[in-house]
Structure 1
Amino acid sequence: MNQEERYSRPTTVEEMNERMKNFATPEGWQRGLAFNPDPTDVFIVTPPKCGTTWMQQIVHGLRTRGSMDFDEICRVVPWINMAHDVGIDLYAPQVAHPRAFKTHSTLDEAPKGGRYIIVLRDPGDALVSEYHFFEGVFFEKGSVSLEAFARGYFIRMHDVWRHILSFWGRREDEDVLPLCYENMKADLPGTIERVAHFAGIPLDDELREIVLRQSDIEFMREHREKFEDHLTRTARGAAMRLPPDGRLHKVRNGRVGESRDRVPDEIKQEFDRIWLEEIAPETGLSSYEELRNKLMTLRR
């Protein structure tokens, strides 16, 4: 195998799944889940591509009055599962209080003893976002269809649905703040106020305006290099035999409802089946839209 063959992007979902086994080391992943938090630590707990980076920016802006003095957001709000692999000490002091972390592990799996901001998103929109995030990095651009990605990876991982089932029984706990991406878009000022109150961060008019401006999609796109996951890409790209030229940009367009015209009807029907068989019996809710409306009533 020559160097060009050794460092090439997968062209099938099957090959991508095989490479993704080396995305993280088992030791590093478990070290993150074994982290012992302080009671004031804030964990951003989300499925992939459901507003994680957006919430990292909001929390970090609130606690620092808008500091953008970081090369990548996960440097200052670490991803607990990947911290060991990228050389970040989770127990090291952070630049401001409260300490903040992110994880794509579910609430059940996350370290116990902190405070937890849950962010969910319509599964179809999450699928479209994750597909574009992976394309050109974890698989060759144009080689894998959205439907193939949905069936071979997104549905198999089951992330959105696992997160819903994990947090639902704790949705009214004082240490849990459940949010929906769509509700954040509809009322960003209100979201900022809720997050500040939940994290114990005093909010004044000036700070509110700073965070509102810096968590706007256009601001984040203008500073997109600060939201490009080069820490993980640099640390783990070779282990996945990926070329080094890919860019894991985590800020795209922030649209709501993009999946309506993008996701094939067969995939939408599969999502409906999963909801009917797995989510509805546990929650009593008939759809993601009903979940979104329910969470809007949990004001505190």
Structure 2
Amino acid sequence: MGTRIEDVSGGTKANDILLRDFTSKFRSGYKRVFPLGDSGKRSGKGYLLPDYFCDYEKQIREMEIRPDDVWVASYPKTGTTWTQEMVWCIGNDLDFEAAKSTILPLRFPFIDFSCLFDFETQPAEALNSSFYDFLKNSVNFTINMKSPRYIKTHLPYELLPEQMKSKNTKIIYVARNPKDTCVSYFHHARLIEGYRGSFEDFIELFLQDSVSYSPFWDHLVSYWEHREEANVLFLKYEEMKRDLPSVIRKVSKFLGKEQLNDKDMKTLCDHLSFDSMKTNSSVNYEFAVDKTQNLGLSQGEQRFMRKGKVNSWKEEISPDVAERFDAWIENNLNGL
């Protein structure tokens, strides 16, 4: 399919906020990436991605896909880490010892990590040589993993490797209420991505499709359109919070694993509880937060795993802004 890539410059309120409050020595600028249809014409509004995506776009697009790959895809801050840990544990027959002894980025790498940041990392700063290899080039690290590979991405469906469309690779997508997503993304951006602006400006960016991986709705719909295909499983964060055992059974069936007995189900649910995840050093990304704080990139004081609640947006979004969100949601869902 290919892409058309355009520079993002100032001149609109959202672009001015973006370039002022997100760009730094770790992130120099942004592009709009337009997937090209079969006719060669660009489609959609264009996905916003940091400049560094251009360095890896071709390598990702031409990546060799293996029949036993499992991908977890999502828009940022929609329950990705939680879903990854659930999928990895089910796929690896509840090997909790291995899960706790190896950090998630090495078991389940974020392939587009290097598309987001540009910072120098010395081997001594990394937890081990494998983690250094991941930080240096997450795409190469993922490509060279032993099978079976478990791979995380925030890329929309159109920007996935071309072979995924023909090889029916298993894809699990997780979606979340956009209001909760926006609030969580704001705190994440301050903590990890060096965002220096206000919450009000971040909301403006979110609603104007001007934070990384946006537009939110184009991203979600790119996977929703494939939800009926046998190799795609579409999950919702709220569903996982409401009835985790039911989701676990659904994922187990999708991965071709035997259904868990009551004891194993309870053990896995306990392992995946928010309190357990928050204190589990293999998944809570404390090492990443410490890194960004030491580099002076972090603008926040909270930790990677913050609340893990449904509708926590009500604690931070005013009624007036909520009405604006509702109008934005209705406008984007109209006709779908």
Tell me the residue number matched to 2:107. 76
Which of 65, 78, 101 pairs up with 2:151?
Answer: 101
For normalisation by structure 1, the TM-score amounts to: 0.75
Tell me the residue number matched to 1:92. 144
Question: RMSD between aligned alpha carbons?
Answer: 3.1
Check 1:171–1:233 CA distance in 2 against 1; reply closer, same or farther (3 A cut). farther
Tell me the residue number matched to 1:214. 271
Residue 115 of structure 2 is aligned to residue 110 of structure 1: no
Contact kept? 1:47, 1:104, Cα under 8 Å: yes
Check 1:98–1:18 CA distance in 2 against 1; reply closer, same or farther (3 A cut). same
Partner AA of 1:135 in structure 2? R
Contact kept? 2:110, 2:152, Cα under 8 Å: yes
Matches of 1:225 and 1:279 in 2, distance apart? 37
Matches of 1:162 and 1:175 in 2, distance apart? 20
Check 1:33–1:186 CA distance in 2 against 1; reply closer, same or farther (3 A cut). farther
Tell me the residue number matched to 1:47. 75
For normalisation by structure 2, the TM-score amounts to: 0.68
Residue 146 of structure 2 is aligned to residue 146 of structure 1: no
Check 1:243–1:39 CA distance in 2 against 1; reply closer, same or farther (3 A cut). same
Structure 1's unaligned 5+ residue stretches are: 1-11, 284-300
Check 1:137–1:91 CA distance in 2 against 1; reply closer, same or farther (3 A cut). closer
Tell me the residue number matched to 1:178. 234
How much does 1:225 deviate?
Answer: 5.8
Matches of 1:160 and 1:224 in 2, distance apart? 30
Check 1:162–1:61 CA distance in 2 against 1; reply closer, same or farther (3 A cut). same
How much does 1:131 deviate?
Answer: 1.2
Contact kept? 1:106, 1:166, Cα under 8 Å: yes
Check 1:43–1:105 CA distance in 2 against 1; reply closer, same or farther (3 A cut). same
Give SS of 1:82's match: helix
Contact kept? 2:72, 2:84, Cα under 8 Å: yes
Partner AA of 1:177 in structure 2? L
Within-5 A mapping of 1:1-300: 14-19=19-24, 20-21=27-28, 24=52, 26-64=54-92, 65=94, 66=96, 67-82=98-113, 86-88=136-138, 89-94=141-146, 98-111=148-161, 112=164, 113=167, 114-139=169-194, 144-153=197-206, 155=208, 156-157=210-211, 158-205=214-261, 206-224=263-281, 226-228=283-285, 230=287, 242-243=295-296, 249-281=303-335, 283=336
Matches of 2:83 and 2:174 in 1, distance apart? 8
Matches of 1:21 and 1:70 in 2, distance apart? 35
Check 1:13–1:188 CA distance in 2 against 1; reply closer, same or farther (3 A cut). same
Deviations 1:9-37 (A, max 9, x none): xxx75433323446645323543343222
Check 1:57–1:132 CA distance in 2 against 1; reply closer, same or farther (3 A cut). same
Bigger RCO (CA 8 Å, 6+ sep) = 1
Check 1:267–1:13 CA distance in 2 against 1; reply closer, same or farther (3 A cut). farther
Deviations 1:105-157 (A, max 9, x none): 112222213111110000000011111112244347xx633221111356423
Check 1:136–1:104 CA distance in 2 against 1; reply closer, same or farther (3 A cut). closer
Check 1:183–1:269 CA distance in 2 against 1; reply closer, same or farther (3 A cut). same
Matches of 1:257 and 1:190 in 2, distance apart? 21
Give SS of 1:173's match: coil
- Identity of matched residues, %: 22
How much does 1:278 deviate?
Answer: 2.6
Check 1:69–1:35 CA distance in 2 against 1; reply closer, same or farther (3 A cut). farther
Give SS of 2:156's match: coil
